[in-house]
């Protein structure tokens, strides 16, 4: 093979050549049963002949292009995507337990979420293939991310969303000038319609756990973490999990470095789900996939059938990942603590990962001197509604010092 990359089916392992548009392994995809996670999702495999002698230094200098599924970093949107800060956090837990905590703040992306990494890569690939219209099914971060990246690139985004999505969620998508198609039906129906429309109109589809390039974008966070830790693999990474795509992206990044000989070990990844939406962690290693309807305030990880279950499961089993569940109350409380103790206002999904970290601390298994990393997937500004139960607005005071003193006395816990 001469091409830069090919695809490999996550289920049958079959290799599919070609650098053009490829979505699923047609054989395995055809075998999907109702009520079961999709099969036949592909991984991008890079030509080992072209990777010979690749060092991390070279990878960094070339902005990771050797391990990305397009040819030129100039094809990426001009907006600063990725290169987000990795903050070392000094707090009560780190002092008591003697470990280190780092937070990868992906709210500092152009559309304020981690999803920009995937959209940027899909958009760059489309640009090189001279594709002008990109489609996604989404009501949230993925949709606004694709819309924003396409706006930056002069491409057209078409977003299929369940008609029940609240207007506030769609504001970013509409402002970026995307074409919005509200669909009478739930996310799965919007997802299927977006794929049908993609074929019918000859567009390009960004759906996650369908287009294999989204994982290639998401994996860049792993490269950056390794770089920012001074070329060290962390001991543990806490990742919020919904459909299993972000966690697969993080695994893929570390696996790409492992397979190309840059590193020789893998981090322990902790998959954190909400108790009310835990179908991914609950089904790992089970013969039959069974699901419970999901309900959690962390709606970007609220998922009935995780679309990338099969790949995430494989990764978690192969690399001995851990799983955790946290309650909605723990998510809210973690969200409050994180903001008040660090100044990082995270979306509930990211707060779930922090809740998972706090739970792990409580069990005392973080290990002295261990390096722990938390993935902050998006800004709290994206979902102001869900944190309202936390907020207490005191009675208004009259404009005199006596009233201010009373308010402060009545709220001694505040000072």
| Footprint on residues 188-207 left by a copy of itself (CB under 8 A) | 189-190, 192-193, 196-197, 200
What would the x/- binding string for a copy of itself be over residues 343 to 362, using CB under 8 A?
Answer: xxx-----------------
Which strand (E) or helix (H) includes residue 270?
Answer: strand 268-274
- Taking the complex as a whole, the smallest distance from the CB of residue 72 to a copy of itself amounts, in Å, to 17
387: Cβ contacts below 8 Å, ≥ 6 apart:
332, 335, 336, 348, 380
Interacting residues with a copy of itself between 79 and 98 (CB under 8 A) = 79-80, 85, 87-88
Residues 245, 329: Cα–Cα separation, whole Å? 25
SS3 369: coil
Query: Binders of a copy of itself: how many residues, by CB under 8 A?
Result: 77
The yes or no reply on residue 297 touching a copy of itself (CB under 8 A) is no
Structure token pair of residue 96? 């008591």
Using the minimum distance from each CB to a copy of itself, give the nearer residue, 186 or 318.
Answer: 186
SS3 303: coil
Using the minimum distance from each CB to a copy of itself, give the nearer residue, 28 or 149.
Answer: 149
The yes or no reply on residue 217 touching a copy of itself (CB under 8 A) is no
Task: Please identify which residue in 75, 138, 141, 172 interacts with a copy of itself, judged by CB under 8 A.
Answer: 172
Task: Please identify which residue in 18, 98, 177, 369 interacts with a copy of itself, judged by CB under 8 A.
Answer: 177
Using the minimum distance from each CB to a copy of itself, give the nearer residue, 176 or 354.
Answer: 176
Window of 41-49, 251-259, 271-279, 335-343 that interacts with a copy of itself by CB under 8 A? 335-343
Task: Please identify which residue in 111, 277, 278, 360 interacts with a copy of itself, judged by CB under 8 A.
Answer: 111
Instruction: Identify the burial level of 49 via C-beta atoms within 10 angstroms of its C-beta, where 0-12 means exposed, 13-18 middle and 19 or more buried.
Output: exposed
Structure token pair of residue 306? 């995780």
172: Cβ contacts below 8 Å, ≥ 6 apart:
111, 144, 147, 148
Q: In what order do the strands lie in the sheet with 236-240?
A: 86-89, 100-105, 371-376, 236-240, 268-274, 322-326
The yes or no reply on residue 317 touching a copy of itself (CB under 8 A) is no
């Amino acid at each position: 093979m001469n091409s830069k990359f090919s695809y490999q089916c996550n289920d049958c392992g079959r290799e599919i050549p070609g650098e053009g548009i490829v979505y699923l392994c047609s054989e395995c995809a055809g075998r999907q049963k109702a009520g079961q996670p999709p099969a036949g999702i592909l991984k991008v495999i890079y030509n080992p002949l072209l990777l010979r002698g690749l060092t991390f230094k070279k990878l960094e200098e070339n902005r990771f292009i050797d391990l990305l599924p397009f040819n030129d970093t100039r094809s990426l949107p001009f907006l600063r995507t990725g290169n987000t800060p990795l903050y070392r956090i000094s707090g009560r837990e780190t002092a008591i337990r003697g470990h280190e905590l780092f937070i990868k703040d992906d709210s500092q992306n152009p559309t304020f979420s981690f999803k920009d990494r995937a959209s940027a890569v899909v958009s760059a690939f489309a640009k090189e293939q001279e594709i002008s219209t990109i489609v996604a099914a989404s009501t949230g971060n993925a949709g606004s991310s694709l819309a924003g990246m396409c706006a930056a690139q002069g491409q057209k985004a078409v977003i299929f969303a369940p008609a029940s999505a609240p207007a506030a969620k769609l504001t970013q998508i509409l402002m970026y000038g995307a074409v919005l198609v509200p669909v009478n039906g739930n996310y799965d129906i919007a997802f299927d319609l977006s794929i049908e429309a993609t074929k019918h109109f000859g567009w390009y589809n960004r759906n996650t756990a369908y287009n294999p390039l989204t994982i290639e974008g998401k994996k860049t966070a792993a490269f950056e973490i390794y770089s920012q830790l001074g070329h060290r693999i962390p001991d543990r990474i806490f990742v919020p999990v919904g459909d299993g795509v972000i966690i697969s992206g993080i695994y893929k990044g570390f696996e790409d470095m492992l397979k190309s000989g840059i590193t020789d070990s893998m981090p322990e990844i902790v998959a954190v789900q909400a108790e009310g939406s835990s179908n991914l962690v609950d089904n790992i290693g089970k013969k039959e996939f069974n699901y419970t309807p999901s309900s959690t305030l962390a709606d970007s990880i609220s998922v009935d059938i995780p679309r990338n279950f099969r790949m995430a499961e494989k990764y978690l089993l192969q690399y001995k990942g851990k799983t955790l569940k946290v309650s909605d109350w723990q998510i809210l409380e973690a969200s409050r603590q994180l903001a008040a103790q660090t100044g990082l206002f995270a979306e509930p999904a990211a707060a779930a990962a922090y809740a998972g970290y706090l739970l792990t601390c409580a069990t005392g298994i973080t290990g002295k001197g261990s390096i722990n990393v938390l993935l902050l997937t998006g800004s709290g500004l994206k979902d102001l509604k869900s944190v309202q139960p936390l907020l207490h607005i005191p009675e208004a005071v009259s404009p005199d010092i006596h009233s201010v003193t009373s308010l402060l006395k009545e709220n001694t816990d505040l000072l």
